[in-house]
Amino acid sequence: MCSHQPPCPTADSADHDAARIVASHPEQGWSLLCNGVVMFDDTGELLPDSRTVEPRRPALV
């Protein structure tokens, strides 16, 4: 999916959120990365295979 040089990390890589943003919708709270990952403002993620990554933002006390 990525045509950048060097290529962005794949969705299965530990650093998959370092891929470039190809579509940004800050008004809706999400961005699409070139590796197919949907990254949300709360730091949660939806991977291309429908798995989810829980938000990593620390809870406010």
> 4 falls in which pLDDT band (50, 70, 90)?
confident
Q: How far apart are CA 50 and CA 35, in angstroms?
A: 13
Within a domain: 15: yes
Indicate whether 59 belongs to any domain: no
Could you give the 3-state DSSP secondary structure of residue 21?
strand
pLDDT of residue 1: 62
Dihedral sign for Cα 17, 48, 11, 5, please.
negative
Domain contains 42: yes
Please tell me the distance from the alpha carbon of residue 10 to that of residue 15, in angstroms, as a whole number.
Answer: 8
The answer to the question of residue 17 being in a domain is: yes
Q: Is residue 61 in a domain?
A: no
The answer to whether residues 17 and 32 touch, using CB atoms and an 8 Å cutoff, is no
Residue 53 CA from chain centroid, whole number: 9
- Per-residue pLDDT tens for 11-59? 999 999 899 999 999 999 999 999 999 999 998 999 999 999 999 876 6
pTM of the model: 0.83
- For the chain, how many structural domains are there in total? 1
**The predicted structure's pLDDT at residue 6:** 87
40 located within any domain: yes
Is the previous residue joined to 6 through a cis bond, with omega within 30 degrees of 0?
A: yes
